[in-house]
Structure 1
Amino acid sequence: MVSPPQIHLFPGLVPISNSAMSLLSVPDTRKTTESGENETLEYAVSAMQGYRPSMEDAHAAVLNLNASPATSFFGVYDGHGGPAVSKYCARHLHNELRKHQQFRDDPRAALERTFLRMDEKMRERKAGWELCKYGGNEQWTDYKHATRFVRFLPICAKPPYEGPVMDGCTACVVLIRGNQIIVGNAGDSRCVLSRNNQAIALSTDFKPNLPAERERIENAGYHVAISEARGNIYRIDDGIAISRTIGDLRYKNNPELSPLQQALTAFPEVRSENITHDDQFLIIACDGIWDVMSSQEAVDFR
């Protein structure tokens, strides 16, 4: 068997030009770094808050997600509107994937269903207890206060719960299983393979102006246009600048449309690639990398 490449994860590296929120005047350049290895591969993770007021991104690295078949899992979750959804996914998505009945025999189907399942889970009231602990925006602050009030006064009605309406995250995850790399991606984080020093993209950056994405968004009743006031990039109704996310339920509430037809969808693109002797390493990173470096530049920098 060919040895899998090294894995490098970069959540939380954010350029100053790509934030819609108020920015810090001086970036927080403290980095959190960790690494690990097993008998077949090794990985390293590095994250930095940058100009954001708080750290909204998260990751998961599970060397031994499953014993039979032996599977490793790596995921980068780029949060927006707060850290609640990214932290929730980092804690739960790989566990939901492992529990899926098709995980062993059909990882593609398992990934597709698990990404959609994360939206379903967060619509359930019991997810709100965890999400509001992560906080990050007014919705979760208010919900935490309301649930605390009910706890002390049980006669009060439970507060309304809508799930993560104003916040979400991208998700780019990788399974290493035997001689295969399996990538699931929803959003504009990216997975890049270095093969013989050449960058090979294993995911698509899902932006609103991609023809198929734009068609789905406009069919759902939304508008895609360049926002001059917000970075001269394509946005949906002058809001979000990506076309696939987990969370952001305000874009997914049309009862006449399936989850795959909503303006935003959590449905991932899934690709697989066989590992060869020329493969060196993988990079999984949020758009904070890809907004300032090409895939080849990132490979060359390594």
Structure 2
Amino acid sequence: MDVDFTNKVVLVTGASAGIGESTALLFAKLGAKLSLVGRNEANLRAVAAKCEKQKGVKPLAIVADLGTDEGVEKTAKQTLDHFKRLDVLVNNAAIGARTNIMQTDMATFDEVFRIDVRGVYNLTRLLVPALIETKGNIVNISSVAATMVAVGSLPYGMAKAALDHFSRLIALELAPKGVRVNTVSPGITVSDFVKRMTGYSEAEYKAWLATSSQLIPMGEVCQGDDIARMIVHLASENSRLVTGTTVVVDGGIRFTSTSNLITQQIK
């Protein structure tokens, strides 16, 4: 079945770069009306402009910090005021941290959880009534870090594990209302996420990707488009009876040890 999102309203958080940008562009190519959320205004507006070029549909660009109640409330209100409906919610916005239990602090924990867990919880809570009206669906973006154990993954891995279980819980709650909830769990994916978390230079990041590729059974890291295609598939009618599932897109890295992937010294 061909995928077409014409006249469907799709909200993508963390849309200013990486997986969020790739996802926004693919939905735009498929005709969706987009609400795009990010913290970097310049990047967000650049992505919105690229999306508009696809089918001539101008996205709504919302600059907001989804780690705050104000940012979440602004996002929900502006989206519904502008479009009067919502068909798909893609909870992609997240931050990471590279630390361990002996060297971490509560400020780091709180920052990761307020965006990766609390923000998702709050935004979903506010938008569920609109999704029930349209029999829409939710796609949450997790990580293989939710199930793989590696030194340095605190508290990011914990937050993504919480997101996975949140997805299952609300999938059960919302199924009788006709709303599907699924999760995409990416492996190592080319983006600025690791560079921000580690402080790698561009050269160091490329070297890290090359090393990582050698440890992945299928021999290569993911691109943003790999993740975006799965998100769109789950959001489409091709997955009309799929709910409460986690789809891993990782080239098989979950079958390996991640210990050698942690190359940034924790200080």
| TM-score, length of structure 2 as denominator length | 0.34
Higher strand share: 1
User: For the pair shown, which has the larger CA radius of gyration, 1 or 2?
Assistant: 1
**Which structure ranks higher in relative contact order (CA pairs < 8 Å, sequence separation ≥ 6)?**
1
Higher helix share: 2
| TM-score, length of structure 1 as denominator length | 0.31
